[in-house]
C-alpha cells in the first residue's frame, strides 16, 4: 500500500458534516469518508450495490427494502447497523429547509415536516438487517437519490450528538487546518482491497498557475480539476500527465433583483454562451441548447440576437446592470467577456467581486453562480436549476415553481421515454417563462496527474476513485 497521495483543491468545504456537505470540494473530500447504500458509476450510468447487499421493490415502486451488509464497520471497529442509516435519513429530513425532490415522496414526509405526525409514522423503518422506505407515489429513481454520499450512516454518542471523527467509508477525517484536509485509511473498511493509500492529503491552492508549479515540482500528484489555466491547455494537451473528463459544474447567471421582464428578456437573447465558449477555445461544454428539444415558436429561442437588438432599440433608457461574482477561476474572465459583448450593444455593466460564503451587504442585479449536477444526465441539470430557483424565488414565483417541482416528480415516476421528453420541454418552458436564470455551460475537468495513477469519476460523490493502474 502506498503511503499517501496529494490533491490540489481551490477552496475548503463550506461545512464539515457528511450529511449536509453540498459544495463541490466538500463532496470531493467527504466522498472518501462515505459509505452509501449504492455507488453511482458515472462512466456506465449504472448503480452498484455497496452497503446494500440486495434490495426488494414492491407495491409498484412504492416500497423499497434494502438489506445492509453485516460486515461494515466504523473506523473505530464497531459494527455499522441499519439504524445508523435510518439516523442519516431522519437527520437530513429534520434539518433540511429545502428537501430533495425524492424525499418529499416519502410516505408522510410533508406531514412530518409540518409536525402533523411522529417519526414512527414517517414511512422509514429499520430492523436488525434492513432499511425500508415507503413512498406516496411510484419512484423509479429512489436508488439514484440515495446513492448520494449524504445518506451515509450516522452514529450518536450518549448525549445524542453526532460523532464526526469516525467513518464507515474508506477513510476518516484525521486533520483539518487552513490549508489541508488529511484523510487516513479506515483499517476496518469492509472492502479493504479498494484502499490504495494510507492517507489522502487535500492541499488548498486557489492560484491555478501555482497548482501546476507544485505538480511540476513533484509536490502534488493531481492538480485541481476545475481551475486549469485556459491559456495553458494547448501547451499541456499532448502531455501524458494531462487529462480531460466531462465535468458536472454548471455555470449560470441568476437575477438577484426584480428587474423588468423586458430587460431580462433582452439579456436572455443577447448573452451568447456559444460565442463565449469560442472565445475561450471551446474549453466549456454548452448545456443551455434548448433547441435540442421541441421548439414550437421563435419566441422560445434562448438566444436570438436580432430579436434582442430589436427589443433593445425600443427602450427609451440605456440598460445598466451590475453582476456579482466570487473569486474562483475562471469566473472573472467569463464575466469580463460578457461585459465586453454587452458594452458593444450599449449596455453598461459593472462587475462586483464578492464572497458568497460570507454575510454581505453587496447588492447587484445578477450574479454568476457555479452549481454541480449530481449525475451526468439531462434531468439532473434541471433538478440543479430548480433548487436554485426555489431558494431564490420561492415566494415571488410560487405558481411556476410548484409546476416545475411537479414536473420533476412526474419525470421520476415515468417509464415512458416520449413522456419524459415532453416533461423536459415543459421544464424548459418554465425556465423561459421565469426568465430568472441564464444557463451558460458546464466546466470541463482539465488536470495533471501522476502517470502511475488513475482518477475515475467526476469528483462529486462516491463515484470518485483513485486506483493504481500500473
Q: Tell me: the pLDDT tens digits for 39-83?
A: 877 667 778 899 999 999 999 999 999 999 999 999 999 999 999
Q: Is residue 51 part of a domain?
A: yes
- Residue 291 contacts residue 301 (beta carbons within 8 Å): yes
Size (the chain), residues: 470
> What is the DSSP secondary-structure string of 259-320?
--HHHHHHHHHH--HHHHHHHTTT-EEE---GGGS---SGGG-S--HHHHHHHHHT-SS--E
Q: What is the C-alpha to C-alpha distance for residues 210 and 220, in angstroms, rounded to an integer? A: 11
| 292, part of any domain | yes
Q: Are residues 322 and 439 in the same domain?
A: yes
268 in a structural domain? yes
Per-residue confidence (pLDDT) for residue 470, from 0 to 100:
42
Q: Which of 134, 151, 168 is the last residue of a domain?
A: 151
Share of the chain above pLDDT 90, in %: 52
Statement: residue 336 has pLDDT above 90: yes
338-366 burial code (b ≥16 CB/10 A, e <16): bbebbeeeebebebeebebeeeeeeebbb
Task: Summarize the confidence of residues 196-209 as an average pLDDT.
Answer: 93
* 135 shares a domain with 260: no
Which of 80-84, 193-197, 333-337 has the lowest average pLDDT?
193-197
182 in a domain, yes or no? no
On whether residue 459 sits in a domain, the answer given is no
CATH number of the domain that residue 403 is part of: 3.10.105.10
262 in a structural domain: yes
**Segment 354-390, tens digit of pLDDT:** 988 777 767 899 999 988 776 667 787 788 888 778 7
CB-CB contact of 240 with 451 (8 Å)? yes
Q: Which residue range is the domain that position 280 belongs to?
A: 248-444
- Computed over every residue of the chain, the mean pLDDT equals 87
Which H/E stretch holds residue 334?
helix 331-344
* Average pLDDT rounded to a whole number, residues 153-158: 95
Task: Give me the pLDDT at residue 292, please.
Answer: 38
Q: According to the per-residue pLDDT averaged within each range, which of 70-79, 194-203, 278-287, 390-399 is highest?
A: 70-79
Half-sphere exposure of 200 (CA within 13 A, CB side): 24
β-pairing, 130-134 vs 46-49, is: unpaired
Q: Are residues 142 and 290 in the same domain?
A: no
Q: Residue 54 maps to which CATH number?
A: 3.90.76.10
Q: What's the CA gap between 148 and 214, in Å, rounded?
A: 32
- Is 39:50 a contact under the CB 8 Å cutoff? yes
Label residue 99 by pLDDT band (50, 70, 90): low
List beta partners, residue 133.
64, 124
117, 151, 185 — which closes off a domain? 151
C-alpha cell at 401: 415553481
Domain shared by 131 and 255, yes or no: no
The answer on 406 and 284 residing in a single domain is: yes
Amino acid at each position: 500500500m502506498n503511503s499517501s497521495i496529494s490533491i490540489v483543491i481551490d477552496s475548503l468545504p463550506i461545512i464539515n458534516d457528511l450529511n449536509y456537505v453540498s459544495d463541490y470540494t466538500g463532496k470531493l473530500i467527504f466522498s472518501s469518508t462515505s459509505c452509501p447504500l449504492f455507488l453511482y458509476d458515472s462512466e456506465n450510468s449504472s448503480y452498484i450495490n455497496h452497503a446494500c447487499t440486495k434490495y426488494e421493490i414492491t407495491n409498484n415502486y412504492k416500497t423499497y427494502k434494502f438489506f445492509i451488509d453485516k460486515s461494515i464497520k466504523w473506523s473505530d471497529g464497531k459494527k455499522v447497523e441499519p439504524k445508523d442509516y435510518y439516523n442519516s435519513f431522519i437527520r437530513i429530513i429534520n434539518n433540511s429547509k429545502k428537501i430533495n425532490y425524492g424525499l418529499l415522496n416519502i410516505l408522510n414526509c410533508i406531514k412530518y415536516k409540518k409536525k402533523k405526525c411522529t417519526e414512527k409514522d414517517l414511512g422509514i423503518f429499520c430492523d436488525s438487517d434492513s432499511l425500508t422506505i415507503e413512498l406516496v407515489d411510484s419512484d423509479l429513481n429512489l436508488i439514484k437519490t440515495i446513492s448520494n454520499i449524504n445518506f451515509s450512516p450516522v452514529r450518536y454518542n450518549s448525549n445524542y450528538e453526532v460523532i464526526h471523527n469516525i467513518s464507515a467509508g474508506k477513510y476518516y477525517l484525521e486533520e483539518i487546518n487552513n490549508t489541508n484536509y488529511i484523510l487516513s485509511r479506515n483499517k476496518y473498511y469492509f472492502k479493504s482491497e479498494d484502499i490504495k493509500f494510507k492517507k489522502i492529503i487535500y492541499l488548498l491552492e486557489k492560484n491555478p498557475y501555482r497548482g501546476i508549479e507544485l505538480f511540476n515540482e513533484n509536490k502534488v500528484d493531481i492538480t485541481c480539476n476545475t481551475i486549469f489555466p485556459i491559456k495553458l491547455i494547448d501547451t499541456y494537451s499532448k502531455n501524458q500527465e494531462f487529462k480531460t473528463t466531462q465535468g458536472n459544474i454548471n455555470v449560470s447567471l441568476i437575477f438577484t433583483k426584480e428587474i423588468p421582464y423586458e430587460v431580462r428578456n433582452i439579456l436572455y437573447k443577447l448573452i451568447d454562451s456559444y460565442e463565449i465558449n469560442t472565445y475561450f477555445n471551446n474549453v466549456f461544454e454548452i448545456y443551455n441548447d434548448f433547441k435540442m428539444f421541441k421548439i414550437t415558436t421563435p419566441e422560445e429561442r434562448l438566444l436570438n440576437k436580432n430579436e434582442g437588438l430589436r427589443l433593445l432599440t425600443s427602450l427609451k433608457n440605456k440598460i445598466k446592470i451590475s453582476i456579482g461574482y466570487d473569486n474562483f477561476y475562471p469566473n472573472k474572465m467569463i464575466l469580463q467577456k460578457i461585459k465586453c459583448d454587452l458594452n458593444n450593444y450599449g449596455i453598461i455593466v459593472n462587475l462586483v467581486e464578492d464572497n458568497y460564503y460570507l454575510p454581505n451587504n453587496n447588492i447587484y442585479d445578477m450574479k454568476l453562480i457555479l452549481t454541480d449536477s449530481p449525475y451526468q444526465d439531462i434531468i439532473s441539470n434541471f433538478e440543479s436549476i430548480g433548487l436554485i430557483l426555489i431558494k431564490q424565488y420561492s415566494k415571488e414565483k410560487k405558481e411556476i415553481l410548484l409546476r416545475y417541482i411537479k414536473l420533476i416528480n412526474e419525470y421520476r415516476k415515468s417509464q415512458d421515454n416520449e413522456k419524459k421528453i415532453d416533461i423536459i420541454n415543459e421544464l424548459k418552458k418554465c425556465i423561459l417563462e421565469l426568465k430568472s436564470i441564464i444557463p451558460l455551460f458546464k466546466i470541463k475537468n482539465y488536470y495533471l496527474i501522476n502517470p502511475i495513477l488513475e482518477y475515475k469519476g467526476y469528483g462529486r460523490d462516491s463515484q470518485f476513485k483513485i486506483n493504481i493502474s500500473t
